[in-house]
Every structure is written in C-alpha cells, then in structure tokens.
Structure 1
Amino acid sequence: MSKRRRRFKQSQSLEVRLAAEAEHLREKAEKAPPGTERETLLRRARQFEEGLHMSEWLRTPGLQ
C-alpha cells in the first residue's frame, strides 16, 4: 500500500511567504532580549531574505 502525498495549493507566492516570515522573525527578534535566541531569530530572518533574493534572481528573464 503506497502513501499518498498531501498536496496543498498555495494561496500566496513563495516570495510573499518568505518576505512575511522574515518580517515576522525580525519583529519577534526586536522584542526578544539580547542573547542567543535573538541571534537565532535574526539569522533565520536573514536566511529567509536570502531565499527571497535567490527566488527573485532565478525568475529574472535572463536566466530563463
């Protein structure tokens, strides 16, 4: 018996979701006290922003 994949139709584009999550993490980091948790939140926000930039770069007409 094979497992069936659960597929979801995304209502927002990848870029919108990445930007929203990065913004959410930055807001959460601003409220957090200085320390490792804050640094982790900021690092994750930067990773989401880098993913956003890569996705936009890959969608440029010159690469397609």
Structure 2
Amino acid sequence: MARANYRIVDMAGRVLQQGLTPAQQEILELDVTDIQAGIYIFEAFDTKRVLVGRFIKN
C-alpha cells in the first residue's frame, strides 16, 4: 500500500489514534500501550483501497 491514512477505533466508534503511514512501508507497528484492554478496529485507507481489521488488546 502506498502512503495511507490509518486509525484505531474502539467499539463505541471513538477514534483513539490516527495518522499517516510512511511511504512504501509494508509493515506498520503502532504503540498501543496507552490503550486499555479491549477489542478495537484498525482501518487503513488510501485513494484506491480500504483495509479493515480487528485486534484484541489484553
């Protein structure tokens, strides 16, 4: 994916983190230490694609 916007959203729909990925980066590592345990939605999107996934923070 080319440079893309990303965000982490909680199950209530609140955006907890958002930003812009570095160009041409295949793997994105985010610091989620400040996020409480729970289930979250990760979204990444550019002008051509949208990627959505869920993750659990213990």
TM-score, structure 2 length as denominator? 0.22
TM-score, structure 1 length as denominator? 0.21
Greater share of residues in helix: 1
Greater share of residues in strand: 2
Rg (Cα) greater in structure:
1
